[in-house]
Amino acid sequence: MGDERVTRVDRHAATLPRRSPRGATARLREEGGVVLVGVSAGQIGRAKPRYVGLHDGYLVGLIRAGATPVVWPSTLGVGEPEEVAERAKELVGRVGGVVLSGGGDVDPGRYGATASTERLYGVDPARDAFELAVLKAAREAGCPVLAICRGAQVANVAFGGTLLQDVEEAGFAAHSDPDHEYEVSHEVVVEPRSLLERLVGHGSYGVNSLHHQAGATLGAGLEVLARSPDGLVEAFAAPGLLARQWHPERMLKSDPLAQRFFDWLVNWGEA
């Protein structure tokens, strides 16, 4: 999909009240500072349960956009809820944006459910606690958030939504396609006149797909930006929030538009 399909990016779309009249990037550069972006990270997997990490594409995309990424491990969610909330508030206050990265499943208890599938994996209570606290702090501070895959699911839950614990068991097509991790797996239909259309163009957009969960009911105040051909919500937004199920950090080499998601975050609120 070529750049000729892309309309002009409107950086005023989907914004919260700004901390200053100009965006964080411009303000900090004028002050001779750097733009820090917090990036959440979780446990790598069963093979190394005590290792925390994330795909380096998140960091590459942010650095290309002019930011300095700071990795926030899931262990920041260990402690009493009040402690975690205060920690998240302090960290959000130090950055110009937040990326909620992909990873394991959200604890069903967070959206009022119990486990209903054996396919549930990677549940990390500390990560759930920390990322939900970060989202709350970001909304209160007017700090923009880019939510990817698991991050989108966390965002939906934070806004009061619920999740399909496994999309195949819920009657949808399989959406986890690791054989095409770095290339297009399927297309999504972009909502007209939406923030996503301003970033990638109108019509359909090719994405990779690594998720086995998705939104069941969408949280209050969330705007649908794209759906898959089988009807799943693939992207949504709220003021200062851009969330999607696919992984742009893994498409940076194959899709020239993937970088625009990181640019949106770092340049958010600029004139």
Q: Which residues are known to be catalytic?
A: 149, 247, 249
* Stretch (H or E) spanning 145: strand 145-148
CB within 8 Å of 123: residues ≥ 6 apart: 104, 105, 106, 107
In this structure, what DSSP letter does residue 191 have?
A: P
CA distance 234 to 225: 8
CB within 8 Å of 106: residues ≥ 6 apart: 123, 128, 150, 153, 154, 157, 163, 213
* Inter-residue contact 142 to 159 (CB < 8 Å): no
Percentages helix, strand, coil for the chain (3-state, rounded to 5) are 30, 20, 45
Rg (CA), the chain: 17
User: According to DSSP H, which parts of the chain are helical?
Assistant: 24-30, 57-64, 81-92, 125-141, 150-158, 195-200, 259-266
227-230 long-range Cβ contacts below 8 angstroms, 24+ apart? 227/188, 227/189, 228/173, 228/175, 228/186, 228/187, 228/188, 228/189, 229/186, 229/187, 229/189, 230/172, 230/173
Q: Of 238, 254, 248, 187, whose CA–CA distance to 59 is shortest?
A: 248
